[in-house]
Amino acid sequence: MTDIGGMRNLNMADDHMLESAAPVIVPVLPDEIGKVLEVAGSGSQIELDAQMLRKLSKSDDPCIAMAGQVGSLIKMKVGHLWIVANVRNLRLDTSDSDLILAHIDFLGEGLEARLTGRLTNFRRGITRFPVPSCRVYPVSTEDMKEMYAAEDTPNIEIGTVYPTRDIRGALFVDAMLGKHFALLGSTGTGKSTSAALILHRICDMAPEGHIVMIDPHGEYSAAFRTNGALYDVNNLAMPYWMMNFQEHCEVFVTTTGNQGQQDRDILSKCLLAARAKNRAAEGISKLTVDSPIPYLLSDLTNIIQTEMGKMDRAGETAPYMRLKTKIDEIKADPRYSFMFSGMLVADSMASFISRVFRMPGDGKPISIIDVSGVPSDITQVVVAVLSRTVFDYAIWSRNEPQRPILLVCEEAHRYVPNEQNAHGSSVGTILGRIAKEGRKYGVSLGLITQRPSDLAEGVLSQCGTIIAMRLNNERDQAFVKAAMPEGARGFLDTIPALRNRECIICGEGVAIPIRVSLDNLEEERRPASSDPVFTHLWREVGGEEEIVGRVIQRWRSQGR
């Protein structure tokens, strides 16, 4: 006989258990916009629904509204992971006008949040690949906030991530400086202001830092008046004896070929003898022509004169006369007094390094070295001495508490030219070496240039972070693309379409490649690089005679 009351009790118990069980939450997936057609190692091909893209283009979320466009981000669900990719290019499916075929580059992956289904814990690189027929979804602003969250990593915010309205574009400072960086952009795109913005942010973050900037046009002194030490030909006081032998040859040896080699041999012998006469050379068993030991230019010319007196025939004295004449000429020329003055014979190496490398910084962590007033024939040598001193100091201070130095080089293509424009200069050699080896010794290199294709091959590829503004020249665009990581190619195709003060940032300094609208910089922090407003300035008249007179006076006296 069936116990009906017992069955009733069991059913009631089951109902009670069902009521008390936690409700199962199924994450709501975003609107599907397509599917994966083909998968390869670095990228894949997807199919997008044109009607769905048109519908989403009206979305209030700017990221979803941009879904499916070149440079936009999409995501695919693989297990409990979201795979994020960048759209590289688009073309219409000829068999169906409502379908669009796109190539994508994989960027990274994140976990799927259990309750909301959103992307969390994003990281670069992927561990699982989607398979054909995997569904494709747009990336939302919430997803991008998670992807670009800098969290506890030391960073500087420089702008707003495109196309969002409020997500800040951050550069990871340690990663960017640890593996060098390059800022590229055609003239007029806001390159100088962007460089000033990045350096100001770094200085604000590290007021006791050590930054040396080579400024060939005198633009940046105006930008760093309050938080930088400014040097030009009037107060640089760079001792000539800090040059190594190669740099001495670039200044003093005027001939080439066999004659040049003869002059160099004589200079080497006489320079070593001049250095040996200084008290600082006493006790140094390995004294060489490269040792930064002070010497008197008069001692060098006297030694050359003495050696010349040992020659029997007039023809043999010609190289000695060439060297002596050149040295006397430079000593007498006031344009070179910032380096070859008789006042710079004292052993001032420690004070020079402390001043220029900001040790200590005293709240002014950046040195602006304005070389615009340096005679053009020795500008390369001055930059070479500064760059090599940074590198040599880093090498010889390895056993000391580390003080990393950032060397920023504006108009870098002038100093590290490619083989076509190369002339074997010492500055190209040392900057190339810093690019390859600097990070081992705590020297970071920042290259700023408008002609990346004129840079030495390999130097740009040594820059772990590339900040690319608009580049108008096709050769420059191709050169930058070759140096970029594969996953950034979709972004790079948009370089010609960037607006002023917009940039693409790829590499170590960012979580994934991003397009950023850069912040405006306060007027007093901007470099003096604005373009003249012809239509306004040509209306101004009066005082031209006085202007011309003052200009000629400064011109003749080589004053600024």
Of these ranges, 17-26, 148-157, 272-281, 322-331, the one predicted with the greatest mean pLDDT is 322-331
Residue 559 banded pLDDT, cuts 50, 70, 90: low
| pLDDT (0 to 100) of residue 420 | 60
Lowest-confidence segment of 280-289, 435-444, 506-515 by average pLDDT: 280-289
Q: What is the mean pLDDT of residues 13-29?
A: 50
**% of the chain at pLDDT higher than 90:** 17
| pLDDT (0 to 100) of residue 405 | 92
Residues found in the chain: 560
Has residue 432 got a pLDDT over 60?
A: yes
Q: Which three-class secondary structure state does DSSP give residue 403?
A: coil
Residue 421 banded pLDDT, cuts 50, 70, 90: low
397: which strand partners? none
Q: What is the DSSP letter of 102?
A: E
Q: Is 546 or 531 the better-scoring residue by pLDDT?
A: 546
Q: What is the mean pLDDT of residues 440-448?
A: 92
| pLDDT (0 to 100) of residue 456 | 83
Residue 7 banded pLDDT, cuts 50, 70, 90: very low
- Among 454, 434, 334, CA closest to 392: 434
| pLDDT (0 to 100) of residue 18 | 44
90: which strand partners? 102
| Alpha-helix residue ranges (DSSP H) falling in 123-227 | 141-147, 173-178, 191-205
Has residue 505 got a pLDDT over 50?
A: yes
Has residue 386 got a pLDDT over 90?
A: yes
- Per-residue pLDDT of 100-125, as tens digits, reads 999 998 888 888 887 777 888 888 88
| pLDDT (0 to 100) of residue 230 | 92
The Cα 104–Cα 121 span in angstroms is: 22
Has residue 276 got a pLDDT over 90?
A: no
Has residue 394 got a pLDDT over 60?
A: yes
Residue 417: φ, ψ to 5°: -75, 160
Handedness of CA 272, 275, 279, 285 (dihedral sign): negative
H/E element holding 337?
Answer: helix 337-340
**% of the chain at pLDDT higher than 70:** 90
| pLDDT (0 to 100) of residue 314 | 61
Q: Is 321 or 97 the better-scoring residue by pLDDT?
A: 321
Has residue 445 got a pLDDT over 90?
A: yes
Beta strands 405-410; 81-92: pairing state:
unpaired
| pLDDT (0 to 100) of residue 234 | 87
| pLDDT (0 to 100) of residue 313 | 63
- Among 78, 176, 81, CA closest to 121: 81
Q: What is the mean pLDDT of residues 176-205?
A: 89
The Cα 113–Cα 118 span in angstroms is: 5
- Per-residue pLDDT of 42-95, as tens digits, reads 678 999 999 999 898 888 888 888 888 888 889 999 988 999 988 888 888 888
Instruction: Give the burial class of 286: count Cβ atoms within 10 A of its Cβ; 0-12 exposed, 13-18 middle, 19 or more buried.
Output: exposed
- Decide: 472 and 496 in contact? Cβ < 8 Å: yes
**Omega before 360 cis (within 30°)?**
yes
Rounded to 10°, the helix 314-332/297-309 angle is 170
| pLDDT (0 to 100) of residue 212 | 93
The Cα 475–Cα 152 span in angstroms is: 39
135: which strand partners? 35
Distances 165 to 62, 149, 168, 491, 505 between C-alpha atoms, Å: 8, 15, 9, 19, 18
- Among 535, 499, 534, CA closest to 517: 499
- Per-residue pLDDT of 206-228, as tens digits, reads 888 899 999 998 888 888 998 88
Q: Which fold has domain 170-237+342-521?
A: Rossmann fold (3.40.50)
| pLDDT (0 to 100) of residue 1 | 43
Has residue 560 got a pLDDT over 60?
A: no
| pLDDT (0 to 100) of residue 476 | 85
The Cα 495–Cα 503 span in angstroms is: 8
| pLDDT (0 to 100) of residue 19 | 47
| pLDDT (0 to 100) of residue 446 | 93
Q: Is 11 or 225 the better-scoring residue by pLDDT?
A: 225
Q: Which three-class secondary structure state does DSSP give residue 326?
A: helix
Across the chain, mean pLDDT equals 84
Instruction: Give the burial class of 124: count Cβ atoms within 10 A of its Cβ; 0-12 exposed, 13-18 middle, 19 or more buried.
Output: middle
Q: What is the mean pLDDT of residues 391-406?
A: 88
Handedness of CA 220, 223, 227, 230 (dihedral sign): positive
Q: What is the mean pLDDT of residues 525-531?
A: 77
Copy the structure tokens of residue 187: 């003239």
Lowest-confidence segment of 251-265, 277-291, 329-343, 412-426 by average pLDDT: 412-426
The Cα 304–Cα 270 span in angstroms is: 6
